[in-house]
Structure 1
């Protein structure tokens, strides 16, 4: 997921209320959702460490993302199983290290048949909050296959989004053809090509929830915001 390297201002996070009088607090269109968190990246710019396990504010980034979707069912992590909180299903992409599209397919494979909406998230989003996820769910309308945040430059943060399960499964099948190994190394742009995506700028309180940590400098900046 592309990172925005320039953030114009830093604000102290404040608690944001979810909309009242709607199922789940997300809007009448969504009452339940699942979550797939992708944690299998190579983290080459960090020397190959287990990046999602790196702490921000005293807590692994992976755990912070899982906490932001605590009300999702099921919660699925695609990546290493060590230290993963209880109640979270764990799987690996095929082949291991095959990239975000292969990891997305592995996560979707564990969803129950009645799942209709899924949050698809990178595991290195330490500033993600339940309010931000709620904002995405609230913007998922009947005319969209998915919704994701966009950064200040208007770039889609596709691994900080909510999607129709049927649309994602159809996209995976289109790319896979006769073999799931065709998904290894495929780009998210190719997966989402042709889908109708609702783009949402973050206008809530606090730092941008789409901010991902690809470098040590990113982690340092996230630490400052998390204090």
Structure 2
């Protein structure tokens, strides 16, 4: 895979089970969930955050899918279109996975060798919104604009050969509720 690694942070969801809170601004261990995500993507040459702008310690590009709340596929592809660099590998990370680290992404890159990409799973083996994918392969399966809104990520990625990477410890956990955040 090409050496240029760009990443998309998905941070524009409704957070319905968290009373509509802006997850990117929610704090875990004294830092926002977005700062945790940006730290996990420290190896990325460029990062686009799909969500409302919030202060960050790292320069990133903020954008929103149109119409808003189009789901992860619309957000991912909007982020992809907002990149200034041409990625060889595209990382994707949901903002609500604060236990993902740079080491997680290094393992995902390693697991992706010989595949179209690799995604982290949760403890039950379900694919999470943390992964890397060959940008050219993603572009090859990209739907037209009308097909993106509300599309499930599994549908977009169905034709790709993706390695599944089991979590180490709790890195595959996400924060969908206030209880999830407390339990981290």
TM norm structure 2: 0.93
Is it true that 1:216 corresponds to 2:178 in the alignment?
yes
Give the aligned partner of residue 186 of structure 1.
151
Q: Aligned partners of 2:57 and 2:164: how far apart in 1?
A: 31
Is it true that 1:124 corresponds to 2:86 in the alignment?
no
Larger Rg: 1
Unaligned runs of at least 5 residues, structure 1? 1-28, 223-227
Contact kept, 8 Å, 2:112 with 2:162, in 1: the verdict is no
TM norm structure 1: 0.76
RMSD: 1.6
Contact kept, 8 Å, 2:4 with 2:86, in 1: the verdict is no
**1:2-151 alignment to 2 at 5 Å?**
31-112=3-84, 114-142=86-114, 144-151=115-122
Find the partner of 1:153 among 124, 140, 143: 124
Give the aligned partner of residue 167 of structure 1.
137
- TM superposition shift of 1:113: 5.6
User: Runs of 4 or more off by more than 6 Å in structure 1?
Assistant: none
Structure holding more strand per residue = 2
Contact kept, 8 Å, 2:3 with 2:89, in 1: the verdict is no
Query: How many pairs are equivalent?
Result: 184
